[in-house]
Chain A
Amino acid sequence: MSERKRFFRLLSVLVVLSSVLLVMVCSMLVTGTKTRYIKREQDEVRAYYTGLYFAENGDGSPVALENNVGYVDFQIMNYIDDDVTKRDITYDITTVSTFYDGSGNVIADPSSSSVTDLHVKDVWNAPVKVGRDSYKYNVSITKNDGETRTESVNGVNKELYLFSYEERDESAVGKIHNVTVKLERKPDAGAMSGSTESVSLVIQLNKPYKQVYIVDIIVSNRLIVFGSKQVKEFDMDFTKVNAQTFDIFSHYLNGTSYAERVNAALTKFSSRAFKVVFEWDNMIINENDFKYFHNNPNSILAGTPDAEGLDLSRPYLVSITQTADSGTLTIYVPQSSDFEFGCLITDTNAYLKAMVYIWDNATGQYVVYDQVGWGGYTDNSTLGLAEIIK
């Protein structure tokens, strides 16, 4: 090999190596590559959602609307069975100002005959159906034995009722609020078209988040009103039957003074108790619920349980006969009464009905409290019959 060839061969190797070096340097410069020292910290926040356990037992309660005002008592709980809400709950019950249709559109005139149903919206903007006559009533809480706390509601400070979350050992403490709500018929609502109206109370939660709970009640201008609702006790489904009567049977507030109440036949009403005969089948009545009634009224009232001047604090139990799952119950219900008793329904064909009798001053005897004659009940075309569960 000549010197010249060897030189060129070495030169070629040198050029190749130089090129490799040059290319690598260029490549690093072009891509901006350089060794970087990296440090990383990583963390996580994990949140577990809790359930909102909130219940009331006012559904199905009857309200006797006297002089355009009625009251309903019920309980509100921050627990359901063994599950207690592990957060503070604040709520209020007020008059609903805006109603929506089933699609969530605002109803400008709820009184319009073209409106079939009223709804309010929950926090998810889903329409929740309420009683068709709800817009006719102003609603306010007149008594509540729960705690209160001032909170901002839509930017305005307001006193709300509070279930404060408490722990005992490792369990949360469930609480009950006893509530009385006043319903006042709005002056522009007009006269009641029938004997009953379907009204919903809307419990509006502010904390832990905005939510609505609906309490459906029956408002009636009858002197005695019945209702029923489902309750759960000891994990069993019971039915509670409620009854409420007017404060005064014989008179009504006419302006600022009281006037005598008369029916279409101009028969004067009396202050005597209503006589009610319940009859049921496929259900068992809890007789313990009558223990606080006046028992043996014939003895107490010297053989005249229908006499005036009854004790208004409790109804009078005349008789109760009950076989396996049917029976009859006769009671006298004074004015200003508000009571309930429990039933256990044993079959889907269960019924509970009541024949209601009112004292007729004209004839001096009890007569059926029917729709036409007295503004009472004529269910299933039977004068004086109130079908409570059917």
Chain B
Amino acid sequence: MKTRKKLILALLYISLVGVVYLTSSTLSKYISSSNTTGDFTIGEKLYFDYTRGDLFRGDQLIVGVPIEENIYDENTHELIKTKKRIETMNVAPGDILKFHFYVSNVNEELTEYNGIEGEFHVSASALLSMPVNQADYQLDCTITYRDVTDSSNIGAFTDLAKDKNIDLLKYDGTSASVRKYEFQVYVVLDDQVQATSNDDYVGATLSIYLFVDAANK
């Protein structure tokens, strides 16, 4: 009898541990989703500075109009978020738009800086909308980058691999801990879009969506 009780207790214990393990494993996945607010009020914070650069059409510098579009709640009419973009007109088939931007671990005025060792990832996607053909094309973008920390020694652009993370150094107040990178993103339509004539581009728009994500190490 005593042996049976012990066996029941042992099974009960194993079952309990199993349930706890499964619950913990499940919960741990949610824990790994992290805090996306970017606020880190205790101690130092993760920070990078994103700055827009020039917009080129081929080799020609063109004017991009900065737009800020406020998105409001339909019911409460409260501002939900502000979408920002750069718009340019008069693009023609065959044009390659190149957008330059910068990412650094301190801002220009040194009033904000990165206080945590981290890394960041740059990604982009593009959407070509051709209303005449009633077609939308998801396009791959090409991103190249270079280190421009030392303005007297700027190298050539190199391709940025899709899975490449770049170190986001902790700024310790010294110039040696400052890092600044220049990126250019562009999309080549050849082999990605099946256009057959000039008319296909009537009313067409090309949107390049750009993301810079950083996380602590």
Report which A residues bind B (CB closer than 8 A): 12, 15-16, 19-20, 23-24, 27-28, 31, 33-52, 86-87, 122-124, 126, 208-211
B137 in contact (CB, < 8 A): no
Residues of B within 8 A of A43 (CB): 50, 52, 84-86, 101, 209-210
Complex-state Cα separation, A12 to B55, whole angstroms = 68
Q: What is the chain B residue whose CB lies nearest that of A45?
A: B208
Q: Quick one: CB contact mask for B173-207 with A, threshold 8 Å, 1 for yes?
A: 00000000000010000000001111001111111
Which listed residue (A20, A40, A51, A87) contacts B20, Cβ 8 A? A20
Q: Does B148 contact A (CB under 8 A)?
A: no
Q: What is the distance, in angstroms, from B24's C-beta to the closest C-beta of chain A?
A: 5
Q: Is the CB of B28 within 8 A of A209?
A: no
Question: How big is chain B's contact interface, by range?
Answer: 35 or more
Nearest chain A residue, comparing its CB with the CB of B32? A33
Roughly how many angstroms separate A87 CA and B92 CA in the complex, as a whole number?
A: 8
Counting from the closest, the 5 A-B pairs by CB-CB distance are: A44-B85, A209-B94, A208-B92, A41-B50, A33-B32
C-alpha spacing A31/B33, complex, angstroms: 12
A56 to chain B, nearest CB (A): 16
**CB atoms of B94 and A46 under 8 A apart:** no
**How many Å lie between the Cα of A208 and that of B202 in the bound state?**
15
Q: With a CB–CB cut-off of 8 A, which chain B residues contact A51?
A: 201-202
Contact assessment for B55 and A209 in the assembled complex, using a CB-CB cutoff below 8 Å: no
Q: B32-65 toward A: CB 8 Å interface, digit per residue (1/0)?
A: 1011101010000111101010010000000010
A23 to chain B, nearest CB (A): 5
Q: Considering only CB atoms, which chain B residue lies closest to A37 in the complex?
A: B46
A41 contacts across to B, CB distance below 8 A: 48, 50, 211-212
Q: Is the CB of A46 within 8 A of B195?
A: no
Classify the secondary structure of A's interface with B.
mixed
Q: A252 CA to B205 CA in the complex, in Å?
A: 58
Instruction: Take A31-B28, A37-B35, A40-B213 as given contacts and tell me if A46 and B13 are in contact as well, using a CB distance cutoff of 8 Å.
Output: no
Complex-state Cα separation, A19 to B95, whole angstroms: 63
Besides the contacts A33-B32, A42-B210, A209-B92, what 20 more A-B pairs have beta carbons closer than 8 Å? A20-B24, A23-B17, A31-B28, A35-B34, A37-B46, A38-B213, A42-B209, A42-B211, A45-B64, A48-B88, A48-B205, A49-B92, A49-B203, A50-B89, A50-B90, A51-B201, A52-B92, A86-B89, A122-B197, A126-B197
Q: How far is the CA of A1 from the CA of B214 in the complex (A)?
A: 59
* Residue of A whose beta carbon sits closest to that of B92: A208
Bound Cα distance from A49 to B95, whole angstroms: 10
How far apart are the CA atoms of A148 and B34 in the complex, in Å? 61
Whether A49 pairs with B97 at a CB distance below 8 angstroms is no
- The answer to whether the Cβ of B135 comes within 8 Å of any Cβ in the partner chain is no
A28 and B28 in contact, given A44-B83, A45-B55, A124-B195 (Cβ under 8 angstroms): yes
Structural contact, B196 and A27, CB atoms closer than 8 A: no
Mask, B83-125, CB within 8 Å of A = 1, is: 1111111111111010101000000000000001010000000
**B25 close to A (CB within 8 Å):** yes
Q: Could you tell me if B28 and A19 are in contact, using CB atoms closer than 8 angstroms? A: no
Interface centre among A19, A40, A44, A211 (most CB of B within 10 A): A44
The answer to whether A209 and B95 touch (CB under 8 A), given A35-B35, A37-B46, A41-B50, is yes
A94 to chain B, nearest CB (A): 21
Bound together, the chains give a CA A34 to CA B94 distance in angstroms of: 46
Q: How far is the CA of A24 from the CA of B63 in the complex (A)?
A: 55
**A35: B residues at CB distance < 8 A:** 31, 34-35
Partner of A126, one of B48, B101, B196: B196
Q: Render B138-172 as a binary contact track against A, CB cut-off 8 A, 1 for contact.
A: 00000000000000000000000000000000000
**A-B contacts, 19 listed (Cβ < 8 Å):** A12-B9, A16-B17, A20-B20, A23-B21, A24-B28, A36-B216, A37-B116, A40-B38, A41-B211, A44-B83, A44-B208, A45-B97, A46-B206, A49-B92, A49-B201, A49-B206, A86-B90, A122-B197, A123-B93
Interfacial chain B residues near A210, Cβ < 8 Å: 94
Contacts of B101 in A (CB 8 A): 43
Q: How far is the CA of A122 from the CA of B197 in the complex (A)?
A: 9
Chain B residues positioned under 8 Å from A36 (CB to CB): 34-35, 215-216
Q: Complex: how many Å from CA A40 to CA B47?
A: 10
